[in-house]
Amino acid sequence: MKFGVVVFPGSNCDRDMQDALSKDLGQEVTMLWHKDKGLPGFSTDDCIVLPGGFSYGDYLRCGAIARFSNIMQDVIAFANEGGKVFGVCNGFQILCESHLLPGALLRNQNQQFICKNTFIKPDGFYKEAIENKEVIYKIPIAHGEGRYFADEATLAGLEANGQVIFRYCDENGEVNDLGNPNGSTNNIAGISNSNRNVFGMMPHPERACSSILGNTDGREIIETLLMAKQLVG
C-alpha cells in the first residue's frame, strides 16, 4: 500500500503526516503538489491524504479554494472509484467542501482557536472494525473552525449508517458537553462516506504516533482506517 500526501499552499501538517506514516508506521509515502495533474503510480489499493493546515490561507472559507486545486479533481475521481481518501483538520474541511463528505465545519462555539489534547471514542463501523472494544483515544486538536454541522436529515443518515466514526468525550469516555471542545453537533469528531472509503476527522492522529512524544493512540486509528484491507460491512 502506498500513501500520497497532498501539499497545498498553507499546509503545515503535511510533513507531520509524512513522518508518522513513513517513520512510525513504516509505509511508503509520496508527497503530491497541489498543481499536479493525475495520480500516477497510485491505484485504488492506495490512499491519498489531505493534511491539516490553512490551505490558501483560509482567506475565503476553510477548504473552499483548495477544493478547486488541480489535484483535487483527481482525488475526487480517485475516491469515486473506491480509493481511500483521508482528511485531517483542514483536510476534513476540504473533503466537505468537495462534497466527498456531507456537512460543514463551522467556527468553534467559543469563537476561538483551540489547541490542546482531547479525548475521542470510536463509534459506528469503526467501533465494529475494532471488535467493539471500549477505547478512549487521546488525540490533539488545533483548529478555529472545527464545529461539525449538518441538517437533521443528513445527521439521521450518518447515525443510521454508522458513518459517525469518532465522538468527542471526556476522559472517562462520557459523551457530553464537557468533552466537546468546539460545540460539534452530536459531539461528532469524525465521519466517513457511505462507501467507507473516505474519512475525515478534526483531531490529528499523526501527532500521536511516536513513542518519543509519549502518545501512540493515533497509530491504531491510522492502521484501522487506512491500512485495513477491508472494513466491516
Query: Which positions are annotated as active-site residues?
Result: 89, 204, 206
CA distance 217 to 136: 9
CA angle 170, 142, 158 (to 5 degrees): 60
Cα separation, 145 vs 90, in Å, equals 9
**Residue 93 identity:** Q
Contact 123, 166 (CB under 8 A): yes
Going by their DSSP bridges, the two strands 104-106 and 147-149 should be labelled as antiparallel
The three cell numbers locating residue 129? 472494525
